[in-house]
Amino acid sequence: MSAKLLMKQVTKTYGDGDSTLSVLSNLNLQVNEGEFVAVLGPSGSGKSTFLSAAGALLTPTSGEIFIDGESLTNKDKGELTKLRLEKIGFMFQSAQLLPYLKVEEQLLYVARLAKLDTREAKQRAAYLLKRLEIWERRDRYPEQLSGGEKQRVAIARAWMNKPAILFADEPTASLDFNRGREVVRMIADEVKSEGKAAVMVTHDERMLEWCDRVLYLEEGHLIEKKSLVTVH
């Protein structure tokens, strides 16, 4: 059992002098292999900051972050970019697919960035798209897909380079309840089948059915509240 994500005493402070605002204060979190963690909180609670820091997009004011055992401290921009490419899969709000790439190319693009062998990349893309039941639409542009389909492509894209951990930023925000649940279930399935980890940030409490742990971001800390999970 290894920790895919480890955050130790992470603090992020904005502003200076008298008017400082600590969005994250001494935050600790460990996400292990095969774990799917949900982070909840109202808007403005610092969910985006949390995700940015964990996803190597934002350097915290203090504290240490490890991804797949690798410390983010003292890494320059280029090294962080490389780490994001190889170790982290991202899912963004509203999928954020590139409008000019066909479904299959969305996946092949990230494979190219990681310098994966073309044949291998095609096989992996086919495998993921088939698993996520979107293989028939591989030659479509994102504009021709429904919201749920787009998010499924986004899931496939996030897993394409076999990252250690997936970060999902409100993946269900633009979907209706049923489609949203379906997308979350698929993320959970991939976590289990690939033996990876995932952290999902959301404000929707109805989407937690498949999550192993649910944490609340309050005043810069993560608090576990198992009792609040609604059982469907």
Q: Where on the chain is the footprint of another protein (CB under 8 A)?
A: 47-48, 51-52, 55, 57-58, 78, 81-86, 88, 90, 92-94, 96, 98-101, 105, 109-110, 112-114, 141, 157, 169, 173-174
24-37 burial string, b = 16+ CB within 10 Å, else e? bbebebebebbbbb
Least CB distance from residue 80 to another protein, whole Å?
Answer: 9
Angle at 13 (CA atoms; ends 12, 19), nearest 5 degrees: 165
| Nearest to another protein of 42, 230 (CB atom) | 42
Compute the least distance from the CB of residue 1 to another protein, in Å.
27
To another protein, the closest distance from the beta carbon of 75 in angstroms equals 13
Give, in order, the Cα–Cα distances in Å from 119 to each of 62, 131, 156, 175. 43, 18, 17, 34
State the nearest-atom distance from the C-beta of 115 to another protein, in Å: 11
Considering the complex, state which of residue 47 and residue 213 has its C-beta at the smaller distance from another protein. Answer: 47
CB of 231 to another protein, least distance (A): 29
Pairing of strands 62-67, 213-218: unpaired
Alpha helix (H) residue ranges in the chain: 47-54, 77-87, 103-113, 118-131, 147-159, 177-194
Q: Tell me whether residue 157 or residue 181 sits nearer to another protein (CB atom).
A: 157
| Complex with another protein: residue 157 or 196, whichever CB lies closer | 157
Smaller CB separation from another protein, 84 or 137: 84
Q: Are 40 and 202 in contact (CB under 8 A)?
A: yes
Is the Cβ–Cβ distance between 50 and 27 less than 8 Å?
Answer: yes
Cβ proximity to another protein, 55 vs 63, nearer residue:
55
Give min distance, CB of 108 to another protein, in A: 8
Q: For residues 203 and 211, what is the distance between their CA atoms, to the nearest angstrom?
A: 14
**Closest CA relative to residue 89, chosen from 162, 172, 195:** 162
